[in-house]
A = this chain, B = another copy of it.
Amino acid sequence: MTRGFKIPKRVTTEIDFEGEVIKIDAEVPEQEPEPIPEDKKLNIIGKKVPRINGEEIVTGKAKYAFDINLPGMLYGKVLRSPHPHANILNIDMSKAEKHPGVRAVINLNKKNVRYVGEEIAAVAAVNEEIAEEALDLIEVEYEKLPFVVNINRAMEPGAPRVSPDGNISKPRTRERGNIEDGFKEADVVLERTYKTQVEVHNCAEVHGSVAKWDGEKVTVWDTTQATHGVRRSLAKTLQLPESNVRVINHYMGGGFGSKLGLNVHTVAAVNLSKIAGAPVKIMLTRKEESYCVGNRPGTIQTLKGGAKKDGTITAFHYKSHNNGGVGSGGSNASPIWDMYQCPNCLIEESSVYTNTDASRPMRAPGYPQGTFSVDLFLDELAENLGMDPLELRRKNYTTKNRGGTGTPYSSKGLDKCYELGAQRIGWNRRNKKPGEGKGPIKRGIGMASEIWGGSGGPGTQLDFRLITDGVVEIRCGTQDIGTGTYTIIAQVAAEELGIDIKDIKVMIGDSDYPRSGSSGGSNTAASVCPAIRAAAADIKGKLFAIAGPLLGENPEELDVGESKIFVRNNKSKSISFKEACKQITEGMLTSNETRGPNPKGYAFSTFGAHFSEVEVNTLTGKVKVIRHVAAHESGRSINILTSENQIQGGTVQGLSYAFFEQRIMDEQTGKMINSNYYDYKTPTAMDTPQIEPIIIDSVDPVLNNLGMKGLGEPPRIPSHAAMANAIYNAIGVWIRELPITPDKVLAALEERKEG
């Protein structure tokens, strides 16, 4: 039967429809270009390409949300709870409303607040000072309630209740095999406890939103990792069609997960703007940025593991308590569950609720925590077995997920990371006996492994145009959260079309462009780039259909390069790309081709190994990282420069997690006492070692048309664990709690002496 339409691509998904999971797998023709062979010489992909908009950024021309200033714009401020736990008995906003210069006041109608900083009301005024004054004029009558901000205290019997169901959630468990059997098989069994601190995202750019209404439509300039996600959530909140909401985010100064999802201050700006009839800007202060926009949960993790004499791991039993504040504590278990061969595994994880800001995904949520325990544990296990720690990891290497019991990885270059990383750091230089060095300053070398997802997926929609003047315009609702999305998009399009990157205009960060997913989970590059390539290939085909007759050749025989279209077997027969474009009689060629779904039957992960060399001053307890080698396999790298930047940035964040950062709560007041850049320590350039990235630039053989995976989160995962293992190698004592501050080093050394 002939139908009045054509189903143009494979739709493969599982959806939850009225409680029933339905598999969708409709038949459609193949649209994807074939993968680029690994040995093909490429012009711009896989090179060190500077940011195409670098000049705009460094010269201040790039418009961040903070830079949006509109005629008649008002300034908004949010009233936040000064109490960690209280009932709100009454709010009187009348004085604030009458304050000269105030244009709108809104009450968020909270009956109860559960952490310091929770939003209660908001105001908009002609300037920030008046808005601040108005906040002071809002009279809130609180009934203070008992509270707890410390994870240990929260777990004590009789602690003030944060959640009506108690402060410790029912454990989320995962199990395979039988750990009792596993431990019976083991020759060595250890159990150790590891602790990690609460870390805040601390973006260089604070959160903020500028809202402007035009009739029933609202435009929001927002600091967000999810341009389309915020549009959808906001539309739902405002009960408007999505088409009436536009979210713009052309530039962003870091998000790390804290800028996923719709924020209360954004909704406040939108509502204040509606009431006031004028645009409203709310930018958070550094203080608010520190304690009101999420954090990485602190953890108390206990890992019990067993191994045979030859190093074969027989069982893991992992228990963790994660401080999620008033939210979820999340999960840290994947590095334990997936990374090493292990047939018997039991995971038990509980959230612990405290009267602090809800946790939020932070660069590789859970993985740095889990890696800290498993990689320190493995080093200690290796010592007990009399094995080299790297050999122990190699012994338990697996090419399937779920600790060797699951699905094969599409590609896994961790072995190469081990080989090249060990070679680069000089692994054989490490102390045979930990702490054996002479004198008060000891050196040591350690390592840790990394696993993460980042395979990307379908869901990027495009509007790809080739204009008669030979310029490409790409519109896509993805965003650049500081990671270089603009540049890699341009690279892929320029490569596929064989033209200069200057002729690719990339327009992203606007929900008026076709939808693309959030930038999270290291999925942006591997979702967007293959879609760009598919659309560019589609456009190329359309252009070949024009160029073929011009050259008197079958379009199938054409290829591109050096801004020319040429005959594949006779390169001298060519016409310039721009000349061919002039012949586009319809003015432009367009495509909305996109990538297909990931193939079935594979697990997709990225891998890496970090090797660190440290120097510990045993008199002062101060640790200095001397060198850090970071080897990563994330499939094909589109831009080596950007990949290296990610590795360096991730490693520095790991260094910071290892030695500097921690949120400190005052147990008397429930307030964060280091909510500023001075007291909340992060490393400076002087604290940062030489970081040597190694990019295993392989090509995933089955995953998407570029064989690429993500690299946003991976470098953040293992560095602190490699450093901690290096410290042990230097001084022969374990420090199992982060951050590793001089006092902890000295105390551990002291304990060892005593012990």
B228 & A587 in contact (Cβ 8 Å cutoff): yes
Give the A interface residue count (CB, 8 A).
70
Say yes or no for A679: interface residue by CB 8 A criterion.
no
Say yes or no for A572: interface residue by CB 8 A criterion.
no
A177-191 interface bits toward B, Cβ cutoff 8 Å, 1 = contact, 0 = none: 000000000000000
> Of A13, A505, A548, A586, which is in contact with the most chain B CB atoms at under 10 Å from its CB?
A586
Known: A6-B538, A28-B545, A542-B7. A586 touches B458 (CB 8 A): yes
Say yes or no for A473: interface residue by CB 8 A criterion.
yes
Stretch at the interface among A128-136, A400-408, A463-471: A463-471
Known: A583-B15, A587-B459. A468 touches B6 (CB 8 A): no
A471 & B242 in contact (Cβ 8 Å cutoff): yes
Known: A232-B587, A461-B586, A585-B459. A538 touches B469 (CB 8 A): no
**B-facing residues in A533-584 (Cβ within 8 Å):** 537-538, 540-542, 544-546, 548-550, 555-556, 583
Say yes or no for A145: interface residue by CB 8 A criterion.
no
A1-34 interface bits toward B, Cβ cutoff 8 Å, 1 = contact, 0 = none: 1111111110101010100001110101111011
**B-facing residues in A461-515 (Cβ within 8 Å):** 461-463, 465, 467-469, 471, 473, 475, 503, 505, 514-515
A538 & B8 in contact (Cβ 8 Å cutoff): yes
> How many copies of this chain sit in the oligomeric assembly?
2
Say yes or no for A93: interface residue by CB 8 A criterion.
no
Contacts of A545 in B (CB 8 A): 7, 11, 24, 26, 28
Chain A contact residues: over half helix, strand or loop, or mixed?
mixed
* A70 nearest CB neighbor, chain B only: B71
A585 & B463 in contact (Cβ 8 Å cutoff): no
Contacts of A164 in B (CB 8 A): none
Q: How far is the CB of A23 from chain B (nearest CB, A)?
A: 7
Known: A235-B469, A549-B24. A4 touches B242 (CB 8 A): no
Separation of A250 and B540 alpha carbons in the complex (Å): 32
Say yes or no for A322: interface residue by CB 8 A criterion.
no
B473 & A542 in contact (Cβ 8 Å cutoff): no
Known: A2-B34, A545-B7. A243 touches B28 (CB 8 A): no
Say yes or no for A241: interface residue by CB 8 A criterion.
yes
Say yes or no for A215: interface residue by CB 8 A criterion.
yes
Q: How far is the CB of A593 from chain B (nearest CB, A)?
A: 8
* A517 nearest CB neighbor, chain B only: B587
Say yes or no for A753: interface residue by CB 8 A criterion.
no
Separation of A744 and B565 alpha carbons in the complex (Å): 66
Q: How far is the CB of A228 from chain B (nearest CB, A)?
A: 6
Contacts of A5 in B (CB 8 A): 33, 537-538, 540-541, 544
Contacts of A41 in B (CB 8 A): none
Say yes or no for A592: interface residue by CB 8 A criterion.
yes
Contacts of A505 in B (CB 8 A): 241, 243
B7 & A541 in contact (Cβ 8 Å cutoff): yes
**B-facing residues in A341-355 (Cβ within 8 Å):** none
A546 & B11 in contact (Cβ 8 Å cutoff): yes
> Of A2, A545, A591, which is in contact with the most chain B CB atoms at under 10 Å from its CB?
A545
A592 contact from B17, B463, B556, Cβ within 8 A: B463
Say yes or no for A588: interface residue by CB 8 A criterion.
yes
* A583 nearest CB neighbor, chain B only: B15
* A464 nearest CB neighbor, chain B only: B592
B546 & A585 in contact (Cβ 8 Å cutoff): no
A556 contact from B3, B540, B586, Cβ within 8 A: B3
Separation of A467 and B245 alpha carbons in the complex (Å): 12
A241 contact from B3, B7, B469, Cβ within 8 A: B469
Separation of A555 and B542 alpha carbons in the complex (Å): 29
Q: How far is the CB of A530 from chain B (nearest CB, A)?
A: 13
Say yes or no for A432: interface residue by CB 8 A criterion.
no
Interface pairs (11), CB distance under 8 Å: A5-B544, A6-B541, A7-B542, A8-B538, A9-B542, A11-B546, A17-B583, A24-B546, A242-B471, A463-B514, A514-B590
Given contact pairs A22-B549, A24-B545, enumerate 16 new A-B contacts (beta carbons under 8 Å): A3-B556, A4-B34, A5-B540, A5-B544, A7-B541, A8-B541, A15-B583, A241-B503, A242-B471, A243-B467, A461-B587, A461-B588, A463-B463, A515-B587, A590-B592, A591-B592
Q: 3 tightest A-B contacts by CB?
A: A5-B541, A26-B545, A5-B537
